[in-house]
Structure 1
Amino acid sequence: MAMELKGRVLVYSILGCPHCMKAKSTLQELGVPYTDVSLEKYPHARQDVQMRTQKRTVPQIFFNARHIGGNEDLQNLVKDQEKWTEALEVLKSTPAGPDAPQVPDPSTAVKSFDVGDIVCEPDEYAEFVKELRNSGIIKDHRSLLRSYKNSFSGKEFVDWVVKTKEVVPALGICKPRPAGELGEDLRKLILKIYSSYLSPDGKKVNYKGIGESSEFEQYQKLAKELVRVQIVEATREEKLAFFINVYNAQVIHANVTMGPPVNLWQRYKFFNTVRYIIGGHQYSLQDIENGVLRANRKGMGMFMKPFGSSDARLKVSLETPEPLIHFALVCGAKSCPPIKTYSAEGIYDQLNLAAESFLEGDDGCQVDMGKRTIKLSQILKWYSVDFGKNKDEVVEWVHKHLPDSEKKTQVGELLESKNYKLSHMPYDWGINS
């Protein structure tokens, strides 16, 4: 049963953030009522939060005007029974004053996305296909000893086209759409799915629930538009958001429909054979990660670059690799970063925040000052070339992208001393279901 408070607890969060979910779960378990302020729903609140806290990570928790901090700060406060009791007494007896952060006006919220709003503009060629089916030229044909059902000859087709539309049929039932536009629709639909089928800590996915949902049925319909999406002319920012979201959705789609890979060989097949047709070309998960987002670099276990010199998909590849994608791509394993969605507008702020959040946790970076060791996720070993030319440059990159904290200070001290050992944590390939 929730306790009665005169004061106010505000939790600033974003969807899919495991630290946010853990903090809110803790408050719920302790019966402490709180107001969740989504920085995706109220993006204008970000500036106020950063000014008050001098931090860019979430969650940020306030008891009236008192800034508690993030999830780790909340957990430490709860463990200290005396301080926790004192904090609760203040909340029970003292209303939030004018100096406390205010609950955003609901009228200022970004409008929520309704999956029922996804309606594509009919393609003029869809009618062409219907006319072709009703043209009478599609019938059974016999050639020597073979029979061809529901077919037509090249001459019959050309004659019919010349007589009617004088156009060439196209794929799909919707007009080709720009990557930024389609990517944003996909992002919003994926966001709706994540909000219903992610675990409280943001690290596990209810694949069975997704597969049975109406949202997933809607997603599959929308994903068909990828066949003709206009991606070549998209900006770098649009490509980053588009392909990160598609990669993460493709992993979930495959896990729902095919089941997760459970050994090394199955993982190899999973990342190399699960494909979407995007803009008329096939893209496996490896193609998206290493071919597009890493600017056509070889990935783990690859002897050649994903795209050859004559591959049309090279036009889609980023001109330079983007190391921040490694904290956004979710391969479906337990050691992957939490699942989020990304938009082209402000993509670098979103990716930097994802890196900060991952490195701030023990899954990303651990420091032992007594043993003078730094332990990093295997991700920073497998793709070390994206982060630096040597051990020191990789650690410098990590130090730069850590949020201001004791851990950042410790990494800086070890870097400056040049007397430290670097190792990497085991990677848990267990399915995040």
Structure 2
Amino acid sequence: MKKIVFTILIMCMHFGFSQENQAFFSKADAFFKTYVSNGRVNYKAIKENPASLDELISLAANSKVSTSNAKEYQAFYINAYNVAVIKGIVTKYPVKSPLDIKGFFDKNTYTLGGKKITLNDVENVLLRKNFPKEARFHFVLVCAGLGCPPIISEAYTPDLLEKQLQRQAVKALNNPSFIKVKGNKVQLSQIFEWYKEDFTHEGNEITYINKFRKEPLPVKAKVSYYPYNWSLNKVK
């Protein structure tokens, strides 16, 4: 038994995983499996029994990650963002939209990875700034609005992250409700308007989207953006 425990500890040290980080990924996975269904969150149930959410927030506060281990860093902050969003909603629940909560994205702070930061800091400073060519973040960071790609009922983990990012990008960009096609006209989520620079490193938005499409969009499609749906992504 001692030999097994020692081996696990050596593996964690080798991959740069601390005990807090391992616990965070494991507890986050259980939390999302319990409270997320079909891309929606059961905020009411979490509000009634917030112990697991509070434990996750505490673990996220004490975890430490570094960009030198990019997959662990990215997976941690993706989960931390989604957990913090849920915490922000649950604190004020019931609400109809995250925008009903003053300072939800840019003022209200959470301690994540030992840093006191806002949701915008996680997305724009810790993730987008450090990994400027990874636009797939936009398909896994879930802002609590129905306009976002759906939250998943599992945690993002370092070993599965590449598959998870790819899967969610393919799912979003082939969803006719997210990418609306009518002949030569294509309506895109405002995500593509707000973060245009993330999707145009190798051409325009159509070039980027077609890397993931089963049926490519017309190269010279007329692009417009439909209004974002900020209604809360709560379980019906």
TM-score range (shorter-chain normalised) is 0.7 to 0.9
Q: 2:111 aligns with which of 257, 277, 291?
A: 277
**2:6 aligned residue:** none
Matched, 1:253 2:67: no
**Offset at residue 273 of structure 1 (A):** 2.5
Partner of 1:208: 44
Amino acid of the structure 2 residue aligned with 1:334 = L
The one of 224, 228, 231 aligned to 2:58: 224
Q: In the alignment, what sits opposite 1:323?
A: 135
Deviation by residue 1:15-52 (Cα, 9 ceiling, x = unmatched): xxxxxxxxxxxxxxxxxxxxxxxxxxxxxxxxxxxxxx
Runs of 5+ consecutive residues of structure 2 not aligned to the other structure:
1-15
Using the aligned pairs only, state the percent identity.
30
Superposition RMSD in Å: 2.4
What's the CA shift string for 1:379-432, capped at 9, x where partnerless?
111111001069x52110000022x3xx32xx1xx21xx3x3111122110111
Is the 1:378–1:427 contact (alpha carbons within 8 Å) kept by the matching residues of 2?
Answer: yes
Contact 1:333 1:430 in 2 (8 A): yes
Alignment partner of 1:242 out of 76, 80, 96 = 76
Distance 1:229 1:400, change over 3 A: same
Q: Closer, same or farther in 2 for the Cα pair 1:180/1:359, shift >3 Å? A: farther
2:148 aligns with: 336
Change (3 A) 1:379 1:368: same
Does the 8 Å CA contact 1:294/1:322 hold for their aligned counterparts? Answer: yes
Q: Would the aligned equivalents of 1:376 and 1:424 in 2 still touch at CA under 8 Å?
A: yes
- 2:222 aligned to which of 401, 421, 433: 421
Local SS of the residue matching 1:196? helix
d(CA) in 2 for partners of 1:282 and 1:248? 16
Distance in 2 (alpha carbons) for counterparts of 1:210 and 1:263: 16
Mapping of residues 291-370 of structure 1, within 5 Å = 291-295=125-129, 318-340=130-152, 341-369=155-183
Taking a change above 3 Å as real, the CA distance of residues 181 and 365 of structure 1, as seen in their structure-2 partners, is farther
Supply the distance in 2 between the matched residues of 1:211 and 1:268 (Cα, whole angstroms): 19
Does structure 1 retain, via aligned residues, the 8 Å contact 2:146–2:229?
yes
Report the AA paired with residue 427 of structure 1.
Y
Answer yes or no: is 1:191 the counterpart of 2:5. Answer: no
Native 8 Å contact 1:184 1:343 kept in 2: no
The answer to whether the Cα contact below 8 Å between 2:89 and 2:98 also exists between their aligned partners in 1 is: no
Using the TM superposition, give the Cα deviation of residue 252 of structure 1 relative to its aligned residue in structure 2, in angstroms.
0.6
Deviation at 1:333, TM superposition (A): 0.5
Q: What is the alpha-carbon distance in structure 2 between the residues aligned to residue 373 and residue 279 of structure 1?
A: 43
Bigger relative contact order, structure 1 or 2 (CA pairs below 8 A, ≥6 apart): 2
SS in 1 for 2:65: coil
Post-superposition offset of 1:184: 4.3
Offset of 1:288 from its aligned partner?
Answer: 0.1
Aligned to 1:12: none
Q: Does the 8 Å contact 1:193/1:210 carry over to 2?
A: no
* Residue number in structure 1 paired with 2:5: none
CA spacing shift, 1:365–1:184, aligned 2, 3 Å? farther
1:375 partnered with 2:187:
yes
* DSSP-derived class of the 2:111 partner: strand
Q: Any conservation in 1 of the 2:31–2:53 contact (CA below 8 Å)?
A: no
TM-score normalised by length of structure 2: 0.81
> Which 4+ stretches in 1 moved above 3 angstroms?
178-184, 225-228, 260-264
Contact in 2 for aligned 1:328/1:339 (Cα 8 Å): yes
**1:291-324 deviations in whole A, cap 9, x for unaligned?**
11111xxxxxxxxxxxxxxxxxxxxxx2534211
- Residue 15 of structure 1 is matched in structure 2 by none
Q: 1:191 to 1:351 in 2, by over 3 A?
A: same
- Relative distance call for 1:355 and 1:251 in structure 2 (3 A) is same
Greater Rg by CA? 1
How many Å separate the matches in 2 of 1:401 and 1:181? 36
What is the identity, as a one-letter code, of the residue corresponding to 1:364?
F
**TM-score (structure 1 length as normaliser):** 0.46
Amino acid at match of 2:212: H
